[in-house]
Homo-oligomer: A and B are copies of this chain.
Amino acid sequence: MEYSINKLAKLAGISVRTLHYYDEIELLAPKRISSNGYRVYGPQEIDRLQQILFYRELGVPLDEIKRLIGSKNYDGIVALQGHLSAMKAKRDQIDRLIANLEKTIAAAKGETIMSDQEKFTGFKQKLIEENEKQYGREIRARYGDAVVEASNAKMMGLTTEQYEKTQDLSRRINESLKLAYAQGDPAGELAQKVCALHREWLGYFWQHYSKEAHLGLAQSYVDDPRFRKYYDDIAEGCAEFLRDALQVYCQ
């Protein structure tokens, strides 16, 4: 299939000027020049342009793209796999910025407090990569939940100290729950410890504790899809496991 410059531009979602420019800097030359002087692009140019746009999307300068694609031992597939992981990294960065935004919104509403450091997490890339290696994915997965909990805490009129305590409890609950679930016994020691922690956590939000209410809540964790997701993010079937453990705990 052959394309005129306009057709190619529209196909790729770029401007004619851009294709002119790419020709000018010898990044992407047309397949041939027709008798009237018009540029004609063929299948090879299509693929090359696609590669160029992948690199461009990743912020690679054009002359480096030229060098990369033009290099003698250029392996298209290896390059594509490189793009893939780079794109995934970029998506992770966006995810961090989204988490940052969510927390910033909560902070703006007065639901939580952000350190100056936190305000810029997600913008820096190098530090992030280091952080990533250091802490891994768990923190990320937990971040969104932490925001929710922080806002809840404020809403419930907790002091900063109390809030931090609930956060700490929440973390310990999730950690222990994960381990307990791995062991598989709802009546086991660890699972029962989770129940005790969960009760303690509830103590910050409830005026009066009752076993019935606690059990009812546990059942809701299974019944309501929003909650289910919260616990199934820890491990699939975790909501049921917690309910079963609480049934033992509450006798």
> Which residues of A are interface residues toward B (Cβ below 8 A)?
1, 11-14, 43, 46-47, 50, 53-54, 57, 76-77, 80-81, 83-84, 87-88, 90-91, 94-95, 97-98, 101-102, 104-105, 108-109, 116-117, 119-120, 123-127, 144, 148-149, 151-153, 155-156, 202, 205-206, 213, 216-217, 219-220, 223-230, 232
Q: Which residues on B sit within 8 Å (CB–CB) of A12? A: 120, 123-124
Report yes or no: A101 in contact with B123, Cβ–Cβ below 8 A.
no
User: A165: shortest Cβ distance to chain B, in Å?
Assistant: 14
Report yes or no: B219 in contact with A205, Cβ–Cβ below 8 A.
no
Q: How many copies does the complex hold?
A: 2
> Which 6 pairs across A and B sit closest by C-beta, in order of nearness?
A13-B124, A220-B220, A152-B225, A216-B216, A91-B94, A84-B101
Closest to A12 in B: B120
User: A8: shortest Cβ distance to chain B, in Å?
Assistant: 9
User: A60: shortest Cβ distance to chain B, in Å?
Assistant: 14
Closest to A148 in B: B226
A contact face: mostly helix, strand, loop, or mixed = helix
Q: Which residues on B sit within 8 Å (CB–CB) of A77? A: 105, 108-109
Partner of A119, one of B47, B127, B144: B47
